[in-house]
Amino acid sequence: MINSKLEIPIDTEKARFEEFLNLLGNDRIIFSGIFGCGKTYFLRKFFDKHAKFIPIHIYPTNYSVSKNEDIFELIKYDILFELLGHSPDLDKLEVSSLNTLVYLDSADQFEIFKNFISAIPEIGKKVMSILQPLEHLITSLSKKIDAKQNELTINDAKHIKDFSDKLTKKQGHVYENDFYTQLITKLIASIKGKGHESDQADIEVVLIVDDLDRIDPEHIFRIINIFAVHFDVRDLNDDNKFGLDRIILSCDIDNVRLLFNSKYGTNTAFNGYIDKFYSREVFYFDNRKMVTEAIELIVESIQIKTKDVMPMWSNNSNDRNFLILLLKNLILSNILNLRSLTKLHNAEYFYGTFSLHRIDNRILSYQIAFFSVFQFLVHLFGGINNLVEAITKTEFRINKRSNYFLANLLLILDWRNHKFIKEGKENSEFVYSKLPSGNTYRYQIKVTWDENDNYSDFYTATTTSGGEISILDFRRAIISAIEAYAELTRDEEI
Look at residue 6 and tell me if it is in a domain. Answer: no
Are 333 and 248 in the same domain? no
> CA–CA separation, 58 vs 467, rounded Å?
54
Do 373 and 231 belong to one domain?
no
Mean pLDDT for all residues in the chain: 80
**What distance separates the 2 farthest-apart alpha carbons in the chain?**
111
Instruction: Give residue-wise pLDDT tens across range 364-394.
Output: 777 888 988 999 999 999 999 999 999 999 9
Of residues 252 and 90, more confidence is placed in 252
Q: Do 261 and 334 sit in the same domain of this protein?
A: no
Note whether residue 3 is domain-resident.
no
Same domain, 265 and 360: no
Task: Indicate whether 204 belongs to any domain.
Answer: yes
| Full residue range of the structural domain in which residue 348 is found | 294-489
446 versus 494: the higher-pLDDT residue is 446
Q: Give the chain as a 3 state SS string.
A: CCCCCCCCCCHHHHHHHHHHHCCCCCCEEEEECCCCCCHHHHHHHHHHCCCCEEEEEECHHHCCCCCCCCHHHHHHHHHHHHHHCCCCCHHHCCCHHHHHHHHCCHHHHHHHHHHHHHHCHHHCCCHHHHHHHHHHHHHHHHHHHHHHHCCCCCCCHHHHHHHHHHHHHCCCCHHHHHHHHHHHHHHHHHHHHHHHHCCCCCCEEEEEECCHHHCCHHHHHHHHHHHHHHHHHCCCCCCCHHHCCEEEEEECHHHHHHHHHHHHCCCCCHHHHHCCCCCCCCEECCCHHHHHCCHHHHHHHCEECCHHHHHHHCCCCHHHHHHHHHHHHHHHCCCCCHHHHHCCCCCEECCCCEECCCCCCCCEHHHECCHHHHHHHHHHHCCHHHHHHHHHHCCCCCCCCHHHHHHHHHHHHCHHHHCCCCECCECEEEEECCCCCCCCEEEEEEEEECCCCCEEEEEEEEECCCCCCCHHHHHHHHHHHHHHHHHHHCCCEC
| Pair 227, 118 in one domain | yes
Give the CA distances from residue 333 to residues 250, 275, 397, 398, in Å, rounded to whole numbers and listed in that order: 22, 29, 10, 13
Same domain membership, residue 340 and residue 279:
no
Rg (CA), the chain: 31
Distance of CA 180 to the CA centre of its chain: 31
For residue 362, pLDDT over 80 is answered with no
What is residue 356's predicted lDDT score, i.e. its pLDDT?
77
Task: Provide the residue count of the chain.
Answer: 494
Q: Quote the pLDDT of residue 92.
A: 61
Same domain? For 233 and 205 the reply is yes
Tell whether 232 and 309 lie within a shared domain: no
Residue where one domain finishes, among candidates 229, 257, 284: 284
In this prediction, residues 19-42 reach a mean pLDDT of 93
- pLDDT of 95: 54
| Same-domain status, 298 and 262 | no
Strands 283-284 and 303-304: unpaired
Q: What angle do CA 155, 161, 162 make, to 5 degrees?
A: 110
What pLDDT, on the 0 to 100 scale, is given for residue 230?
A: 56
User: Between 227 and 75, where is the model more confident?
Assistant: 75
Residue 305 lies in a domain: yes
Q: Are 77 and 84 in contact (CB under 8 A)?
A: no
The pLDDT of residue 102? 53
Q: Does residue 163 register a pLDDT over 60?
A: no
**1 falls within a domain:** no
Amino acid identity for residue 429 in this structure: E
- Give the Cα separation of 449 and 413 in Å (integer): 22
pLDDT of amino acid 99 = 53
Please tell me the predicted confidence (pLDDT) of residue 457.
57
User: Do 330 and 356 share a structural domain?
Assistant: yes
Residue 4 belongs to some domain of the structure: no
Residue 98 has pLDDT above 60, yes or no: no
Same domain, yes or no: 185 and 306: no
Instruction: Examine residue 99 and state whether it is found in any structural domain, yes or no.
Output: yes
Q: Work out how many domains the chain is built from and give that number.
A: 2
In a domain, 362, yes or no: yes
- Residue type at 258 in one-letter notation: L
Of 227, 225, 232, 229, the C-alpha closest to 244 is 227
What pLDDT is attached to residue 386? 97
Averaged pLDDT, 265-289: 89
Q: What is the pTM of this model?
A: 0.79
The pLDDT value given to residue 473: 94
Which of 37-46, 108-117, 249-258, 337-346 bottoms out in mean pLDDT, i.e. has the lowest? 108-117
pLDDT level of residue 34 (50, 70, 90 thresholds) = very high
Give the pLDDT band of residue 120 (cuts 50, 70, 90). Answer: confident
pLDDT band for 434, please (50, 70, 90 cuts).
Answer: very high
What pLDDT was estimated at residue 234?
Answer: 47
| Average pLDDT over every residue of 249-271 | 91
- Other Cβ atoms less than 10 A from the Cβ of 141: the count is 19
Per the CB < 8 A criterion, the answer to whether 254 and 262 are in contact is: no
pLDDT tens figures, 286-317? 999 889 989 988 988 888 776 666 656 666 68
Which amino acid would we find at residue 176?
A: E
Given a cut of 80, is residue 107 above it in pLDDT?
no
Angle at the Cα of 493 from the Cα atoms of 353 and 491, rounded to 5 degrees: 145
More confident residue, 160 or 277: 277
Determine the Cα–Cα distance for residues 325 and 396; give it in Å rounded to an integer. Answer: 9
> Which of 253, 284, 315 corresponds to the end of one domain?
284
274 and 376 assigned to the same domain: no
- Please name the residues in contact with 207: beta carbons below 8 A apart, sequence gap of 6 or more: 56, 58, 79, 242, 244, 246, 247, 248
Is residue 158 pLDDT above 80, yes or no?
no
Given 229, 258, 284, the domain boundary residue is 284
Q: Report pLDDT digits (tens) over 165-199.
A: 554 444 444 444 567 888 888 889 888 876 555 55
